[in-house]
Amino acid sequence: MLTDPKVFPKLRGILARYMELRYYKVAEVEAEMVQVTEHHRYEPSQLKWKPARRGTKWGDSGVTAWFRGDITLPPECDKRKVLIRASTGGESLFLVDGCANGVFDGNHPVVCLTTKASPGATYHLAFEAYAGHTFPGTQPFDNGPTITKNSCVFDGIDVVLERREVTEFCTELLILLQLAHTLPENSLRRGKIQAALAKVFAAVEAIPDPDSESWQPGLRAARRTMGPLLKLRNSPTTPTTGIIAASHIDTAWLWPVAETWRKCARTFSSALNLMEQYPEMIWLQPAPCHAEVMRQEYPELFERMKAAVKSGRWEPNGAMWVEPDANMPSGEAFVRQVLVAQRWTRQHFGYTGDTLWLPDVFGYSAALPQILRLGRVEFFCTTKMAWNDTTRHPYETFRWKGIDGSTVLTNLNVHNSWPDPQRLIEQWNWIQHKDVDDRALLAYGHGDGGGGPMAEMLEVAGKLADLEGCPRARHTTLSDFMKGIRDEYERIPEWSGELYLELHRGTLTSIAGIKKGNRTAEIALREAEFLSVLSRLHGGEYPSERLLDAWKLLLLNQFHDILPGSSIAQVNDEAIEDFARVRAMANDAVDSALRGLAGPEGQDALVVANSLSWPRTGEIALRGVPEGLAPLLDGAVHQTVEDVSGDSLLLLGNLTLQPLATTVVPLSVAPTALAPSSPFRVTRNGVETPFAKVRLNARGEITSLVDRATGREVIGREGGNVLLLGEDIPAAWDNWDIDADQAAKMEAVATLVRREVVAEGPLQLRLRSTYSLTDSSTITQDMVFHSTSPRIDFETRVDWHGKRKLLKAAFDLEVLADSARHEIQYGHVERPTHRNLPQDRARFEVCAHKWTDLSENGFGVALLNDCKYGIAVHGSWVGLSLIKSGVHPDDRGDEGVHLFTYSLLPHAGGFTVPSVVRPAYELNVPVSWTLAAQGASAAEAPVTLRSDTAIIETLKWAEDGEAFIVRLYDAGKTGSKVRLEFGLPLKSVTETNILEEDVEPVRLSGGSAQSVEVYLRPFEIKTLRCEL
């Protein structure tokens, strides 16, 4: 008789019924409850509790309910595994006698209380249950969950025992059903399984009565039928899949950071509970930040985590403090992610991570391989490249080569999964090059919101070590899996350059306040460390702990759903506040250091700091200097202007700020001479400057820009500084995505309301334009021309009131370039400007940091910015994304006032570090200053760099010992020998990795004027420890 195909859906229904039969109640807990809106790490006994009965309704958005009760185990529990089945109505942390012991949620309805019970034993049980909160959802056309008052229902707490035979039956039936579905149709193995399943269907009661034993004979007969099929083994050539328990826990996303810490406690305690029951289980916990909060707030849980690490079953391997966005953080922020993580993990776990685990991040910078190798990280794992919307990444295992030539062994794996036949087979089938790559890695357990694995997953995995028709499932650590690939495979292919995710391109722009907060906080910390080193070398203090706290707060907020702006409103607001806190902490360090360096207070001099590694000349802008003060230096020029935000700026010209040092500028109360005349000429439809002739149309756009030095036209027929606005509703993932067809929606809709000259002097001309963008949104923009630079700044204030719109500033450039250079961390990448191939067309929106440049051999144009990351380049057309106002999962559409600057920089001679990279730094790095009394002295540079292509990115105090750290890199892709001259006597100079571990000594030459020479490969990062 042929097998009726309807048998299989029926068996799936039968499986669901028998899953409900696995446990039976032996006692009920009498519970009481209390509702709170604040977080309590432990049971709030001091509050007023009330009885909780089945059917009790509770909750509201943001509300937590605590439930508790005592239980004495009855005689039938003797020497049995005893479990608790609870239905609190919310995602719950389970505590036993005050200790975290598991999670109750939709995936975890039952938690083990003890594996070997003693009758009469008593336990105090507590449950911290979260009702959830309302948010708009994630998809453009959807609404998210709505949590209302009393929308949660408590349905009791039971003590239950397991019907072990039923659990075995369910596991076996699940495995065979999946094999019958997944194996090839012409497979003999599949046919045999289908025939056996037909017999199983005939034997079992479809709807068993839990109060009867009539179903038991049929279940035992079914197991006898299935048993022989589950004993068949694979051939020697069957592939192996490494499996590891894990839970991807978003540090914030559709919930705030504070809720994540509770998710960590639930998930980690659940993992430890399961590890006691299943000794084969190995757990991966990648983010030290999460473990640090457990150490601080759940110390008993943390001690159990430490014990599991020591036993080798808890792998704290991830190599970064959080799982950050991998496009927008600065190079130094990536370094600190690794440095802070590795130091913390070594200190508390005695472990050094060797694998960067970033499963759910929206593309990966080509700077990462070098940074990882410098942090003793040799492997990289992700899943996200499988999400591409246009092309498929060609490899699952490959050597990823970064911009400097460094490589890390990389594996594309699966996470948030099950270790069951269907997933194991699907993952094996997904591998494209089985001649090279016959291993896969699967991380099982529920994730994003935590939870981790279920007992059912481990039951299934326990039967798949060697089962015919299914890849072998082998429990492994992440490190061992990657080492196995490294040691056994020689023909692994290479991928060079960035791992561009063909999806989620809008995350480079969403929530502009977060992007600006990130950039300005990174730069503030850079300034704070430089000045604190300078202060320390002159007898002051270096605030190590305070700066570390600031770095940790910055690193936390570079998490891959915070920095991208893909989280709920509360997360976005808290992130913007945190970035402000980082800036405040950094500014405190700057003020303290400058005050110590400057000496007595007064108004006789300005002490001005230059944290860049080259002299700052031309125009120096100082914000907040008291009115009426002017420089006394011979030949110095000054001008006072009001910027677009209403702040006063003192501009200084004919002045040189020495690199990595302070400069003293004597002041007078009033100008000593008349200011020189303006070098600018304003006409009815344009401006003439020392560098360019500019024409503007009636809409305020640039129609022509002729470079005086070369006589060539810079702007193409589509114009420059064209403000484009268009509806932006992607097919999915609202705040994440910009779709390719969105470009068809973009229009130049800005209407020029008025234009006026608001400042003209020896250093600057400011042409202020006011635009009406929509009925409710306006733009005020200063077009700033300089007498000392061809750079034209577009200093912009947007009063934004609109949703589901994308705003861009576009420039059509008269430059012929097949590729554009885009700054990334510690270097740049070149991307095609054409769209010949599918992968080229997919890169219609890409990431750039401070600049993008289009250059010919003898001329080029760069577009600089002070806080933007998303940009489009097509041919000679460049469009910088300014605001993306999606409404999911934050429905406010980026409402409010936005302040930012972007700049157009024509340059002769093609791309060089002095012509593009340095001006971009100068736009982004403000000059720090303080007032001082007469007689103030300058602080000399501790180190001076002699190079036109290298940049000192970081000057900080060493993590250990009496030394300062100099981190420099080749910014021009040139490769050269560079010289560093020191302004103070040193005992030694040693090259280190980014963990500040010695690599090799560097020969220190000279007597009183000591120096070193080092060779930098193209884009190489070097870290030098300078011992005092």
pLDDT range class, residue 1009, cuts 50, 70, 90: confident
Within a domain: residue 300? yes
CA-CA-CA-CA torsion sign (994, 996, 1000, 1002)? positive
Crossing angle for the helix pair 288-297 and 544-556, to the nearest 10 degrees: 120
pLDDT range class, residue 676, cuts 50, 70, 90: low
581-601: pLDDT as tens digits: 999 999 999 999 999 999 999
- Alpha carbon of residue 187 to chain centroid: 45
How far is it, in rounded angstroms, from Cα 258 to Cα 924?
32
CB 513 within 8 A of CB 800: no
For residue 967, give both structure tokens.
Answer: 């981190």
Which residue is listed with tokens 């609109």?
802
Judgement on whether residues 924 and 857 belong to the same structural domain of the protein: yes
724-750: pLDDT as tens digits: 999 999 999 999 999 999 999 999 999
How far is it, in rounded angstroms, from Cα 620 to Cα 467?
72
What was the pLDDT predicted at 458? 99
- Write out the DSSP string of 955-1021: EEE-SSSSEEEEEEEESSS--EEEEEEESS--SEEEEE-TT--EEEEE--B-SSS-EEEEEE-TT-E
User: Is residue 364 exposed (0-12), middle (13-18) or buried (19+ Cβ within 10 Å)?
Assistant: buried
CA 273 to each of CA 26, 162, 479, 699: distance values in angstroms, whole numbers, following the listed order: 21, 16, 23, 67
255-309: pLDDT as tens digits: 999 999 999 999 999 999 999 999 999 999 999 999 999 999 999 999 999 999 9
User: Is residue 829 exposed (0-12), middle (13-18) or buried (19+ Cβ within 10 Å)?
Assistant: buried
Q: Which residue has the higher pLDDT, 448 or 488?
A: 448
- Is 90 exceeded by the pLDDT of residue 5? no
Q: What are phi and psi of 586, to 5 degrees?
A: -65, -45
Which residue is listed with tokens 């899943």?
383
Pairing of strands 851-855, 859-865: antiparallel
What was the pLDDT predicted at 4? 87
What was the pLDDT predicted at 671? 54
919 in helix, strand or coil?
A: helix
Give residue 335's identity as a one-letter amino acid code.
V
How far is it, in rounded angstroms, from Cα 824 to Cα 500?
13
User: Is residue 916 exposed (0-12), middle (13-18) or buried (19+ Cβ within 10 Å)?
Assistant: buried
Region 374-391 average pLDDT: 98
Region 11-40 average pLDDT: 97
Among the three residues 230, 250, 283, which one is the final residue of a domain in this structure? 230
* The residue count for the chain: 1028
Q: How many domains does the chain have?
A: 6
How far is it, in rounded angstroms, from Cα 6 to Cα 995?
61
How far is it, in rounded angstroms, from Cα 708 to Cα 303?
69
Within a domain: residue 657? no
What was the pLDDT predicted at 322? 99
For residue 21, give both structure tokens.
Answer: 């039969």
Region 976-995 average pLDDT: 97
pLDDT range class, residue 489, cuts 50, 70, 90: confident
Within a domain: residue 692? no
pLDDT range class, residue 675, cuts 50, 70, 90: low
How far is it, in rounded angstroms, from Cα 556 to Cα 550?
10
CB 58 within 8 A of CB 51: no
* Beta strand residue intervals within 468-522, DSSP E: 472-475, 494-496
β-partners of residue 937 are none
Q: CB-based contacts of 977: which residues, under 8 Å, 6+ apart? A: 1013, 1014, 1015, 1016
* CATH classification at residue 983: 2.60.40.1360
- Is 70 exceeded by the pLDDT of residue 670? no
- Is 90 exceeded by the pLDDT of residue 628? no
How far is it, in rounded angstroms, from Cα 619 to Cα 649?
11
Q: CB-based contacts of 151: which residues, under 8 Å, 6+ apart? A: 57, 59, 60, 131
881 CB-side CA count, 13 A: 31
Q: CB-based contacts of 915: which residues, under 8 Å, 6+ apart? A: 860, 862, 905, 907, 908, 909
Judgement on whether residues 175 and 142 belong to the same structural domain of the protein: no
* CATH classification at residue 156: 2.60.120.260
Tally of CB atoms within 10 A around 836: 9
* Beta strand residue intervals within 684-744, DSSP E: 686-688, 692-696, 702-707, 715-727
Judgement on whether residues 359 and 435 belong to the same structural domain of the protein: yes
CB 817 within 8 A of CB 833: yes
Percentage above 70 pLDDT, the chain:
99
Judgement on whether residues 449 and 380 belong to the same structural domain of the protein: yes
DSSP 507: G
Q: Which residue has the higher pLDDT, 875 or 438?
A: 875
Within a domain: residue 618? no
Q: Whole-number mean pLDDT of the chain?
A: 97
- Is 70 exceeded by the pLDDT of residue 790? yes
CA-CA-CA-CA torsion sign (766, 767, 768, 772)? negative
Q: How far apart are the first and last CA of the chain?
A: 88
Judgement on whether residues 840 and 961 belong to the same structural domain of the protein: no
User: Is residue 369 exposed (0-12), middle (13-18) or buried (19+ Cβ within 10 Å)?
Assistant: buried
67-108: pLDDT as tens digits: 999 999 999 999 999 999 999 999 999 999 999 999 999 999
CB 149 within 8 A of CB 59: yes
Counting runs of H as helices and runs of E as strands, what totals does the chain give?
17, 57
What was the pLDDT predicted at 669? 77
- Is 80 exceeded by the pLDDT of residue 31? yes
* CATH classification at residue 834: 2.70.98.30
Q: What are phi and psi of 177, to 5 degrees?
A: -60, -40
Judgement on whether residues 756 and 903 belong to the same structural domain of the protein: yes
- Is 80 exceeded by the pLDDT of residue 7? yes
Among the three residues 503, 520, 547, which one is the final residue of a domain in this structure? 503
Q: Which helix (H) or strand (E) holds 585?
A: helix 569-598
Within a domain: residue 665? no
CB 639 within 8 A of CB 943: no
Tally of CB atoms within 10 A around 647: 11
Q: Say whether the peptide bond before residue 889 is cis (omega within 30 degrees of 0).
A: yes
Among the three residues 162, 196, 220, which one is the final residue of a domain in this structure? 162
What was the pLDDT predicted at 733? 98
Structural domain span for residue 907: 717-929
How far is it, in rounded angstroms, from Cα 322 to Cα 334?
11
315-359: pLDDT as tens digits: 999 999 999 999 999 999 999 999 999 999 999 999 999 999 999
DSSP 324: B
Judgement on whether residues 313 and 439 belong to the same structural domain of the protein: yes
Pairing of strands 692-696, 702-707: antiparallel
Judgement on whether residues 377 and 277 belong to the same structural domain of the protein: yes
593 in helix, strand or coil?
A: helix
Judgement on whether residues 561 and 452 belong to the same structural domain of the protein: no
Judgement on whether residues 758 and 878 belong to the same structural domain of the protein: yes
Q: Which helix (H) or strand (E) holds 336?
A: helix 331-349
Region 509-527 average pLDDT: 99
* CATH classification at residue 345: 3.20.110.10
Judgement on whether residues 745 and 876 belong to the same structural domain of the protein: yes
Judgement on whether residues 277 and 422 belong to the same structural domain of the protein: yes
Within a domain: residue 465? yes
- Is 90 exceeded by the pLDDT of residue 889? yes
- Is 90 exceeded by the pLDDT of residue 674? no
Q: How open is the CA angle 802-807-809, to the nearest 5 degrees?
A: 150
Within a domain: residue 482? yes
Within a domain: residue 86? yes
User: Is residue 382 exposed (0-12), middle (13-18) or buried (19+ Cβ within 10 Å)?
Assistant: buried
